[in-house]
Amino acid sequence: MTDIKPLNDDGIALAADILRRGELVAFPTETVYGLGANAMDDMAVARIFEAKGRPRFNPLIVHLPSVQAVRQYAVMNGAAYTLAEKFWPGALTMVMPRAKDCQLSELVSAGLDTVAIRIPAHPGARRLLEAVNLPIAAPSANTSGKLSPTEAAHVASSLGDAVSLILDGGACGVGVESTIVDVSGKKPTLLRPGGIAAEEIEEVLNQPLIRAASDDTAPKSPGMLSSHYAPHCPVRLNVETPETGEAYLGFGPTEKATANLSVKGDLREAAANLFRLLHELDGGQYHAIAVAPIPETGLGLAINDRLRRAAAPRG
């Protein structure tokens, strides 16, 4: 059974150790329980998608304790500072450009050049973030498609052994997710309504928010994001033998690979490497990227979903 510990000093110290080892810890925030991993560790972030059984890689929210920490990973513009001043810590997530030397996993951003960040207000979450001193990626701690957990017991029954430790901080404020505002473009855009009213944000910004054309009740997918990562060069899938001039992205033992998602054929490792290797091979050196077959099981579903989008004809 998964370990459940009270959210006190001992629990927090243990959680910080586990997070540093690259494993998952569920913890309460003021919105719902989050499934946390070290956001700088590709393998740890891949475990989040594996544990949730998400059929696709949507970008994750990174949790940090202070604006000073945020500036290490993201570029804050005037609107970001204005909103941070008024609403952080709290139920506001901002999408910002990744900083130049950003050390966050590319999987956290699902390959995009932006990152979603929140400074939570929950005292227990804040103590954990300060103790671990790492950026923590954390979507809701439930299997994909199930209700967001507001109690430790919900997490245990939903995720079981996939999570190494659950910090029990009692019940969260009922299932209100954070409001997501994209401040990376010229005009701030509301990506998801949530705990902080759009009108309040508009009042502070002194301008209307652009409303993203998406349904606030449906789970967000990369297709609904304002932009999503697609390589510049053509991508071919299920390739056993690459053609001359193509980069070959391998999976499993092969001598033909220009780069390999996982020599061992491990899907978690492949997920961890996916966006970084696509970016590497997409630098203009090759006229196409040919990708080896990836099994349609476990994380292979999300990997193949991503690859199919990358390979789809573009307008």
Q: How many residues does the chain have?
A: 315
CB 128 within 8 A of CB 12: yes
Q: Which does 29 bind (CB under 5 to 8 A by kind): ligand AMP, Mg ion, none?
A: none
Using a CB cutoff of 8 Å and minimum separation of 24, what contacts does 145-154 make?
A: 145/219, 147/175, 148/32, 148/33, 148/175, 148/177, 149/26, 149/32, 149/33, 150/32, 150/33, 150/174, 150/175, 151/33, 152/4, 152/26, 152/28, 152/33, 154/33
Binding map of ligand AMP across residues 154-193, x = CB under 6 A, - = no contact: -----------------------x--x-x--------xx-
Binding map of ligand AMP across residues 243-272, x = CB under 6 A, - = no contact: ------------------------------
31 binds Mg ion (CB under 5 A): no
Nearer to ligand AMP, 127 or 228 (CB): 228
* Contact pick of 7, 60, 166, 299 for ligand AMP (by CB under 6 A): 60
105 binds Mg ion (CB under 5 A): no
Q: How far apart are CA 264 and CA 267, in angstroms?
A: 9
Closest CA to 12 of 137, 127, 138: 127
In 219-280, the DSSP E strands lie at: 235-236, 246-250, 259-260
Residue type, 119: I
Nearer to Mg ion, 294 or 301 (CB): 301
* Contact pick of 74, 115, 121, 167 for ligand AMP (by CB under 6 A): 115
Binding map of ligand AMP across residues 39-58, x = CB under 6 A, - = no contact: -------------------x
* Bridging pattern class, strands 114-118 and 165-168: unpaired
What residues from 124 to 143 belong to the interface with Mg ion (CB under 5 A)?
Answer: 140
158 binds Mg ion (CB under 5 A): no
178 binds Mg ion (CB under 5 A): no
- Residue 48 CA: distances (Å) to CA of 35, 119, 306: 7, 20, 16
- Which residues sit at the interface with ligand AMP, rule CB under 6 A? 58-61, 95, 109, 112, 114-116, 139-140, 177, 180, 182, 191-192, 220, 225
